Amino acid sequence: MKSLRNVWALLALVLAVSCELPEQQEQEQPEPVQPAAPMEFNITSANPMVVLAEGGDYAISYSITSPDENLEVYASTEVDWIRIKGDEGDNKVHFAVAANELEQSRSTVIVVTYDRDYKIVVNQAGANRGPQEILSNLTHDVDMVMTGDDLSTYAFADYWGGTYGDGRGMWQFWFVDVVNRQMICLEILTDSQGTVPTDELYIPTGQFITTNDVYTYDVLVPGYRTTDIDGLYDGGSWFTQLETDVQEEAYAPIDEGELNVSYDSRNESYYITFDLLDDAGNKITGVYNGSVTIEDFRY
């Protein structure tokens, strides 16, 4: 009997241990390792950035999730009016902007590089105008009615690519009235066509309006006079006429108005109108119907 009690006690002990062992093993399981968050780099400041005409110190803010110890943040630009100062350990790329002494605004791109290139557009306003000088010496309204059916009018669309350096493409529409010795150049900023071959360029259509928002698309650029390394330079949109027996020589910067361009695919011709004012308040209107020759000035 004594030995039987010992067997039962031994079985009870084995059962107790076998019941506790899974529970003990379960408690001793290590916690699963959570996968690390993927590396992610983000620009957190405004893009595009707008800086004052007088310049100053600015910064591009960024954030990095799970930084890669083999990568560094650095920045670059191709213009001399911005000086990159670098990262001061505060997740910001600091840079200094020189004052813009011209009335014309200017734009460029700062490239911030980490795992790839991040492009930040910087737009700087032009210097504040004083009392505006009237550049036009036109003394009357002008109405240009033109057609491409004969040799009395020539129409060109010149593509200059990204001349303004802010991603937009610049076109200049030229209308030359041979009989009346008049010419108008209307400059627009619209979607860039990149580096496509010349034979793949297409003339932009739609409405193009002067605006105070110099960073928008589909804008008609007013005429202006500025200074470059060669001296005085007339840019933007201008009307000119040569002296004849019935008219004096005249030139007039376009101050405001709109240009409308449409294309008739059946006749393969353009219908173009403009309704403008120069800086002296003279009205300059026009209509053109016919073909337009594309000229590529990117290269």
* Confidence (pLDDT) at 101: 82
CA of residue 130 relative to chain centroid, distance: 28
* Confidence (pLDDT) at 4: 46
Per-residue pLDDT of the chain (299 residues; tens, 9 = 90+): 444 455 445 545 545 555 554 555 555 666 766 666 788 999 999 888 989 888 999 999 999 999 998 999 989 999 989 999 988 788 999 999 999 888 778 889 999 999 999 999 999 888 876 667 899 999 999 999 998 777 889 999 999 998 777 788 999 999 999 999 999 999 999 999 999 999 999 999 999 999 866 678 899 999 988 876 777 889 999 999 999 888 899 999 999 999 999 999 998 999 999 999 999 999 999 999 999 999 999 97
CA proximity to 288, closest of 134, 93, 170, 145 = 145
* Confidence (pLDDT) at 247: 87
User: Is the Cβ–Cβ distance between 63 and 135 less than 8 Å?
Assistant: no
* Confidence (pLDDT) at 88: 79
* Confidence (pLDDT) at 216: 81
Cα–Cα distance for residue pair 48/230, rounded to 1 Å? 31
* Confidence (pLDDT) at 129: 66
User: Is the Cβ–Cβ distance between 268 and 289 less than 8 Å?
Assistant: no
* Confidence (pLDDT) at 260: 97
Phi/psi at 198 (5° precision)? -55, -40
